[in-house]
Amino acid sequence: MKRNPLVPYYLIMVLGLVLVFFLGIKGIGDAKEIAKEKEGGDQEQAEEFDPEQYAQGTCISCHGENLEGSGSIPSLHGTGLSKDEIADILTNGKGNMPAGLVPADNIDQMAEWLADLK
């Protein structure tokens, strides 16, 4: 018996077309969910922002594991700065502290948390 050597390629092509078709239909079905995430995603992020968790992920690289600072890097405990002063530093940077590390929507929450940190 001789078999046509092109049959496996035709089967792979058909399988590929079927996958593209069904994945396209699934994408169309998920488009509404994706649009809702884009519209309300920013609000959910702002509500879920945890300053302490953010500090543990971002600030410890310079300020140390316990945010106590080292050398020319100041401690974040008991800074004596007001919430507005801290927000200004987070927004504009100061000294070794670069601007823009904290997302603009969350600066007030982070400044309040740092002001209360003892």
In this predicted structure, what is the pLDDT of residue 23? 92
Indicate the pLDDT class of residue 22, thresholds 50, 70 and 90: very high
Task: Give the highest mean pLDDT range of 18-22, 36-40, 76-80.
Answer: 18-22
Cβ(90)–Cβ(102) under 8 Å? yes
Indicate the pLDDT class of residue 51, thresholds 50, 70 and 90: confident
The answer to whether residues 35 and 54 belong to one domain is no
In this predicted structure, what is the pLDDT of residue 1? 62
45: closest CA among 32, 54, 57, 35? 54
The answer to whether residues 20 and 57 belong to one domain is no
The total of structural domains in the chain comes to 2
Q: Is 13 annotated as a binding residue?
A: no
The answer to whether residues 58 and 105 belong to one domain is yes
The answer to whether residues 64 and 91 belong to one domain is yes
Q: Is 110 annotated as a binding residue?
A: no
The answer to whether residues 60 and 37 belong to one domain is no
**Which residue in this structure is represented by tokens 């410890």?**
60
| Cα separations in angstroms, 54 against 46, 50, 111, 113 | 12, 6, 12, 11
The answer to whether residues 58 and 85 belong to one domain is yes
pTM, rounded to two decimals = 0.57
Q: Is 59 annotated as a binding residue?
A: yes
The answer to whether residues 112 and 60 belong to one domain is yes
